Amino acid sequence: MALRLMKSLPEIEDQELVARTLDGDRDAFGVLVERYQDRVFGLVRHYTRNPVEVEDIVQDTFLKAFTRLSSFQRQGSFHNWVYRIAVNTTLDLFKRQGRNPVQTVEDPEVIGAPPTRSLMRPDAQLKEREIAEVTHKVLAELPEIFRTVLILREFEQQAYQDIADLLGISIGTVESRLFRARAKFKELILQRYPEYGQVE
Amino acid sequence: MKCEAVKPLVAGYLDNELSESQAAPVRQHLLDCAGCRNEMQSQTAQKSWFVPTEPIAVPDGFATRVSRRAFAGDKGLLVPAPRQEVQRGEARILQFVIQMTAVAAVVLLILALGMKFNAHPEGSELRADSSDLREALEVMERLNREEQFQLPQDNPPGASQPEATQPVGSGVGK
């Protein structure tokens, strides 16, 4: 029955589904979950490659969203709101587990000297999966604040303003973090794979 | 536009974050300047490391399951109830350690004050007060002298030494 009802709801706006959920409509919340589950799974997967952990985090994300639904600002984007919860849930979990503790942008070891070589494109012989593996290994070594802006910008194609809203920071901070994150990403790739470097 | 003004805008240009009025002069400069074009190509090359990943397979019935759990009052595996329990337990242990540390500190303070007022040497000269010991040594020395003096009378040579079992001062009055 739930599935049948959910199929009649897909055209309804997010705000309406939120209102119905708050009125106790379980199917409405199911539609919201179904609408965004692919994207949230995709987002969380950039943080961890463990599929069980991904599922747990995504599930927690939606359960948290449900408990906080009354605080959702109806004029805002539900997608951005859920994304923010997903990022925070992931980072909270990592923090509790002592994985990749947050480092400040001002940490000189984090910023380091800008690489003097530029990064080449990945080898045409490499398959997309292999490139993604390399990229995610390097991303995993980045401080959380850098990893998150890179994931949101480069994988999720989020606009600077959306990233700023999502993380609760200014656009200027987004630009600054992206600049440093890209420099650090390049530095780490060149350390691991010096063959991809070329003199600028 | 000059290169110094263009280079910081290249990332925003590639990310489509510039307004048309900002992007147009950057575009023109990139056509004219090989150096800035290289910078753009370098940043484009870096972007090509972020390839789209294959969509992850969402488990069947995920949305229905999550919705049912949410309406059943489930707040999730990772937060917050078990965490609060752990935090409460940790808080109790921490509170106990702090209380014990405070008690130990007070005891140490009392001991230190007691030592300061009861066993502090008097006077400015730093030396052990050995007057009692000296008196005792003098008494013992005197007793030994008296005893040695009396030995030849009470114990002729070759006799056993029963006095060794007698108290030191037992022969003094004889």
Per residue in A81-116, pLDDT tens? 999 999 999 988 888 887 765 544 444 444 555 556
Predicted ipTM > 0.90? no
Domain extent listing, chain A: 2-96, 108-199
Of B106, B5, B78, nearest to A48 by C-alpha is B78
Choose the mutation target among B38, B51, B74, B90 for the interface with A, i.e. most A CBs under 10 Å. B51
For residue B123, is it left (φ>0), alpha (ψ between -120 and 50) or beta?
A: left
CA distances from B26 to B4, B16, B41 (A): 11, 12, 14
Angle A51-67/A26-45 helices, nearest 10 degrees?
140
Of A154, A121, A126, nearest to A46 by C-alpha is A154
pLDDT confidence band for A77 (50 / 70 / 90): confident
Q: What is the pLDDT averaged over residues B114-137?
A: 69
Number of cross-chain residue pairs from A and B with Cβ atoms under 8 Å apart = 127
Q: Which residues does B15 contact at the CB level (< 8 Å), separation at least 6?
A: A153, A160
* Facing residue for B75 by CB, picked from A3, A67, A178: A67
Contact in structure between B47 and A118 (CB atoms under 8 Å): no
Helix (H, G, I), strand (E, B) or coil at A199: strand
The CATH number of A108-199 is which of 2.170.120.20, 3.40.190.10, 3.30.390.30, 1.10.10.10? Answer: 1.10.10.10
How far A180 CA lies from chain B's nearest CA (Å)?
12
Choose the mutation target among A48, A50, A69, A121 for the interface with B, i.e. most B CBs under 10 Å. A121
Contact in structure between A41 and A58 (CB atoms under 8 Å): yes
Q: How far apart are CA B133 and CA B141, in angstroms?
A: 12
CATH class of A2-96: mainly alpha
Domain extent listing, chain B: 3-47, 85-116
Q: Is the pLDDT of residue B171 over 50?
A: no
